[in-house]
Amino acid sequence: MAHPPRAAARVRAQRRSDRSPRAVTDAIPYRLEGTTATGDVVSAHGGLSKGEESGVAVTVAGRVMLLRVQGKLAFAELRDWTGQVQLFALAALTERFDGFCRLNLGDWVSATGEVVRTRRGELSVKVAAWSLLAASRHGFGDKWRGVHDPDLRFRQREVDLWANEGVRDRFLLRSKVVRMIRDLLDRRGYVEVETPVLQQLYGGGFAKPFVTHFNSMHSDFYLRIALELYLKRLVVGGFERVFELGRVFRNEGLSPKNNPEFTMLEAYQAYADYFDMAELIEYLVSGAAEGVLGSLQLSFQKKALDLTPPWRKATLLELVEEQSGLVLELSMGVPELRRRAESAGVEVDDYWDEGKIVTEVYEKTTEPNLWGPVHVMDYPESVSPLTRKHRSKPGFVERITPIVAGREIAECYSELVDPEDQRARFAAQAEAAAHGDEEAMPLDEDFVRALERGLPPTGGIGFGVDRFVMLLTDVSHIREVLLFPALRPGAGREPGAFDRPGGEGPATGGSERSS
C-alpha cells in the first residue's frame, strides 16, 4: 500500500465500524419534512431572554460545526445556509445522548426540540430527538483559521464553503445579482434566449477560441468567444429586445481578472444607439447594486465608488490628453502618431494603423489610471469591426466602454448594420490575420447574409458578470466569485490532502476571513 493508513484514521474507521456503518446508513431518513431554517429560528425567537423557554418545538437540520461535551450536557453548533443555531443536549432529555456526544464535526444532523435561550444566553434548540443525516469522513480545516491552502480551497470548494466565513455568502450574493439582472431586463421588455455554444465559426470578439471535435461531422468546432453574432441575427429575425446570459470561452491565460470561461451578458435593442445602451448599463449596474447591497455608495479595495447615474462621459482622445498630456488625432497619420506614442514610451509595431496606435496609447497610458464610473466614448474604427461608423467623426465608431473601479465592465455599441461595410471590415480582419494577428475575426457569411436581409438601427451591450460580482463583493481575484475556477490540470487527479486511502481530518468550522 502506497500510503499506510494514519493511526487516527484507523481509530476512526474502527469506531465507525463499531457503530456498524450499515446500521447507521439504514437509519438515515430518505427525506425530512417540517424543518425550520436556523435563520428563521433566530428571527422568530431572538427575543427570548436568558433561561427563557419558548414552548415552541422545531426541527432544524444542518452540519455540526462545533461540539462541546460537558458531562451530562452537550452543546453543538448547527449551521445551515441561513445561519446557525446551538443545539443543547441533555442526558436526561435527549435520546441516544451518548451517540450525540460522539458526533463528528462535519456530520449532518437533524434535531427536534423546544427553542430556548440557555442560562448563559445562547439561543438553542433543546434536543429531544435527533438523527444522523450524513457522516463526514473528512475534515473541514482548522476550526479557527479555516483552510488557507488555495489548492484545497478551489479544488475542493465544498470544504471552502463551510470552512471559510464569507465564501458561501459571496456565492449567494452572486446568485441574487444574476437574478436581479434578469429581472431588470425583463422589466424593460427584453426576451432571454439561448444560442449555440458549439460553433463552426467563432466571432463577435477578439480572442483565441478553444477548439473541439465533432466526431460525426468529422469537423473541428469552436467554443463560442462571444454571443454577438447570433443575437444580432435574432434582431434581424424580429426579436426587438433580446439578451443572453451565458458562458463564453477564451483561450487565454489565468490571472486575477481572467478566467478562460466566464459569464457574459449581451443585450441588443432595435432602434437604440450606443447612448441608449450606456444608459442601460447604468440601469443594470445601479439597479443590481441597489437591489443586493441597498446602496450606490460602495467601497472597492478601500477606494470609494459612487455608482449613482448618470456617469461621466468623455471621449477616448479627451481622456488620453487628460491623463498623459498627449494630443492625438487620427488625421495626423501613422508617422506622427508613432512619434508621439513613442515619446510616451509606447512601443508601436510596424503594421499598425492610426487607430491601433491610438488605442494602444490609451491602454498603456490612460486606462490604468481611470477609476470611474466613466463612459469612454468613440473608439477608432479599425479596432471595432462590428461597430457602426460614428455619425459625425470620420475614422471612429460609436462605442462606449464603461470603466468602473478601474475595470472595463462592459461595452456599448451602435451596431454595424450595413452589410457592405461589414464585408469590408471582415476583409480588414483577414488582412490583420495575414499579418499574424491570432485574434482576428474570421468572415461569417451567415452573419453577413442576415445583415443583407436588414438589421434595423440597433444598440448592443456586452457585460462581464464575473467582474461585476467582484465589484459588489469587494474581492480582487476572479476565483473568489467563480465556484470552480480554472486551475492547472494535474493535482486534482492525485490524492489530495483529504483523499488518501484511509486519510482523515478533523471536522470543524473556522471563522477567519479568507480574503
Q: Phi/psi of residue 211, each to 5°?
A: -110, 140
State the angle between helix axes of 316-324 and 354-361 in degrees (0 to 180), rounded to the nearest 10.
50
Query: Min. distance of Cβ 107 from RNA in angstroms?
Result: 10
Spatial separation of the C-alpha atoms in residues 30 and 491, rounded to whole Å = 35
Query: Min. distance of Cβ 214 from RNA in angstroms?
Result: 24
Among the listed ranges 144-152, 285-293, 336-344, 451-459, the one in contact with RNA (CB under 7 A) is 144-152
Q: Which 68-127 residues touch RNA, going by CB under 7 A?
A: 68-73, 75, 77, 86, 88, 90-92, 102, 104-105, 118-122, 124
**Based on CB atoms, which residue is closest to RNA, 94 or 458?**
94
Spatial separation of the C-alpha atoms in residues 224 and 247, rounded to whole Å = 8
Among the listed ranges 170-178, 281-289, 412-420, 503-511, the one in contact with RNA (CB under 7 A) is 503-511
What would the grid cell of residue 84 be? Answer: 446557525
Helix, strand, or coil (residue 253): coil
State the angle between helix axes of 274-293 and 465-473 in degrees (0 to 180), rounded to the nearest 10.
40
Q: Which 401-420 residues touch RNA, going by CB under 7 A?
A: 407-409, 411
> Does residue 149 belong to the site contacting RNA (CB under 7 A)?
yes
Among the listed ranges 258-266, 391-399, 416-424, 440-448, the one in contact with RNA (CB under 7 A) is 258-266
Query: Min. distance of Cβ 345 from RNA in angstroms?
Result: 12
Q: Which of 37, 152, 161, 428 binds RNA (CB under 7 A)?
A: 152
State the angle between helix axes of 419-434 and 445-452 in degrees (0 to 180), rounded to the nearest 10.
160
Query: Min. distance of Cβ 271 from RNA in angstroms?
Result: 26
**Residues facing 78 on adjacent strands:** 64, 85
Spatial separation of the C-alpha atoms in residues 513 and 515, rounded to whole Å = 6
Q: Which 14-33 residues touch RNA, going by CB under 7 A?
A: 15
Among the listed ranges 23-31, 150-158, 270-278, 329-337, the one in contact with RNA (CB under 7 A) is 150-158
Question: Measured between alpha carbons, how far is residue 402 from residues 112, 375, 459, 462, 486 in Å?
Answer: 53, 4, 15, 11, 27
Provide Rg for the chain, Cα atoms: 29
Q: Which 278-317 residues touch RNA, going by CB under 7 A?
A: none
Q: How much of the chain is helix, strand and coil, in % rounded to 5?
A: 35, 25, 40
Helix, strand, or coil (residue 344): coil
**Based on CB atoms, which residue is closest to RNA, 290 or 500?**
500
Query: Min. distance of Cβ 499 from RNA in angstroms?
Result: 10
Spatial separation of the C-alpha atoms in residues 383 and 380, rounded to whole Å = 6
> Does residue 490 belong to the site contacting RNA (CB under 7 A)?
yes
> Does residue 398 belong to the site contacting RNA (CB under 7 A)?
no
What would the grid cell of residue 304 be? Answer: 470609494
**Based on CB atoms, which residue is closest to RNA, 99 or 121?**
121
> Does residue 477 belong to the site contacting RNA (CB under 7 A)?
yes
Q: Judged by CB under 7 A, how many residues of this single chain contact RNA?
A: 85
Query: Min. distance of Cβ 4 from RNA in angstroms?
Result: 7
Q: Which 171-190 residues touch RNA, going by CB under 7 A?
A: none
What does the DSSP 8-state code read for residue 309?
S
> Does residue 161 belong to the site contacting RNA (CB under 7 A)?
no
**Based on CB atoms, which residue is closest to RNA, 90 or 270?**
90
Whether 452 and 237 have beta carbons less than 8 Å apart is answered as: no
Q: Which 192-251 residues touch RNA, going by CB under 7 A?
A: 205-207, 250
> Does residue 12 belong to the site contacting RNA (CB under 7 A)?
yes
- CA neighbours closer than 13 Å in the CB half-sphere of residue 59: 10
**Based on CB atoms, which residue is closest to RNA, 83 or 419?**
83
Q: Which of 182, 257, 393, 423 binds RNA (CB under 7 A)?
A: 257
**Based on CB atoms, which residue is closest to RNA, 236 or 459?**
459
Give, rounded to a whole angstrom, the gap between the first and last alpha carbons of the chain.
Answer: 38
Q: Which of 63, 143, 232, 425 binds RNA (CB under 7 A)?
A: 143
Site string for RNA, 420-449 (x = CB under 7 A): -------------------x----------
> Does residue 464 belong to the site contacting RNA (CB under 7 A)?
yes
Site string for RNA, 360-389 (x = CB under 7 A): ------------------------------
Q: Which of 38, 387, 422, 508 binds RNA (CB under 7 A)?
A: 508
Strand ranges (DSSP E) for 333-474? 374-380, 396-404, 407-408, 410-414, 458-464
Give the closest residue to 411 by CA, choosing from 373, 458, 377, 360.
377
> Does residue 491 belong to the site contacting RNA (CB under 7 A)?
yes
**Residues facing 452 on adjacent strands:** none
Spatial separation of the C-alpha atoms in residues 265 and 179, rounded to whole Å = 12
**Based on CB atoms, which residue is closest to RNA, 113 or 236?**
113
Spatial separation of the C-alpha atoms in residues 371 and 351, rounded to whole Å = 32
Whether 462 and 266 have beta carbons less than 8 Å apart is answered as: yes
**Based on CB atoms, which residue is closest to RNA, 239 or 396?**
396
Whether 112 and 126 have beta carbons less than 8 Å apart is answered as: no
